[in-house]
Amino acid sequence: MGATFLAFGAAVAEAGLALGWALACTGAVYGMAGQLVLLQVTATGGAALPATIAATAANARFLPMAVAIAPLLGRRRLRWLALPFIAITPWAAGMRAMPALPDARRLPWFLGFALASWCVAMAATAAGHLAAPALPVAFRAALLFANPLYFALLLAADAGRPGVAPALIAGVLAAPLAWGIGGAWGLPAAGLLGGTLAFLLRRHWPGRPR
Amino acid sequence: MTQADLALGLTVLVGLLLRGAGLLLGGALRPDHPAIAWASTVSVATLAAFVTLAIAAPSGLLATVPLAARLAGLAGGALAWRAFGSRLLPAMLGGLATLLLARLATG
């Protein structure tokens, strides 16, 4: 996880945005897929609206993740403290560890783990941003490749889960559309169109579960 | 306020709303509800489109790396992923090392 935030910090520096922007993005968005898409669209001069739509589409998994983890966080008001930390690393660890814990210990466990991983993410982002300008060009370019590679591996590993492969193929096939549209609207248009088509195909494919 | 700052603020806000809606709906909606399934599918498709563009047609400094080197980096990462028991860190190191070597080889 730290490596992806290190690479993100370097990418923000490469885009000419300030360390404060990088830290605010990691600290408050705290979802690498959306962070990368947001950076990609804004760094190429995109307006705020398409950048927000694209980043939100990339981070739309926050919704199903929160739905899935909500029963483990209990019904007390204090569960809202977990809100900004529902992100892939704490979520995956929480979904694995919390069912084995007594109810009263689940929320404190999640908050402790999430806060620790959030601090690592912030430190790695700052390190990447500060170190990037001092690196040779070839290494900076390799760092910029780290996050696309990371997500390519994750998506490929997830392809066996129900519903992922059609969405993955739709996204890859929709990429030329994003490139063709170009500018800030290309990526959100491709993601929404490709994802919606994959969803509809899966729901209405003969013999598939609804 | 720049467009980048505004986009960041809006993305943070919408992200919190999505998470908040999920916490409120947890227990009321099944994880396979159509709205949840649609959000998951759009998320994967957007990410897949982003990764495809970032590898095939990147902008900025990454665009100075030849396509052959980028594809070699991807292949190196996938091979390391299989060789090291699906562990991410060795896979990424393998992919990045392959990218650097391929860049050297392709000039």
Chain A CA closest to residue B3:
A48
Give the residue from B14, B47, B62, B93 with the most A CB atoms within 10 Å of its CB, the best one to mutate: B47
In a domain, A191, yes or no: yes
- Beta-carbon separation of A156 and B45 below 8 A: no
Q: What is the ipTM of this complex?
A: 0.89
Structural domain harbouring A93: 72-120
Q: Which two tokens stand for residue A98?
A: 């919390």
Q: Where exactly are the structural domains of chain B?
A: 65-107
Domain count within chain A = 2
Task: Check pLDDT > 70 for residue A208.
Answer: no
Tell me the pLDDT band of B36, cut-offs 50, 70 and 90: confident
Q: Please, what is the end-to-end C-alpha distance for chain B in angstroms?
A: 42
Q: Please, what is the end-to-end C-alpha distance for chain A in angstroms?
A: 35
In a domain, A194, yes or no: yes
In a domain, A168, yes or no: yes
**Where is pLDDT greater, at A1 or A34?**
A34
Q: Which two tokens stand for residue A31?
A: 């979802």
pLDDT in tens, A107-134: 999 999 999 999 999 999 999 999 999 9
In a domain, A94, yes or no: yes
In a domain, A95, yes or no: yes
What's the rounded Cα separation, in Å, for the pair A28 and B98? 34
Provide the H-helix boundaries in chain A: 2-14, 19-24, 32-43, 48-58, 62-73, 88-97, 103-131, 137-158, 164-181, 186-204
In a domain, A198, yes or no: yes
- The confidence score (pLDDT) of residue A96 equals 80
What's the rounded Cα separation, in Å, for the pair A147 and B77? 12
Task: Give B 41-70 residues with CB within 8 A of chain A.
Answer: 41-62, 64-65, 70
- The confidence score (pLDDT) of residue A202 equals 86
CA A168 and chain centroid, separation: 15
- The confidence score (pLDDT) of residue B31 equals 67
Average pLDDT over residues A126-152: 92
pLDDT in tens, A69-120: 888 888 888 889 999 999 888 888 888 888 889 988 999 999 999 999 999 9
In a domain, A19, yes or no: no
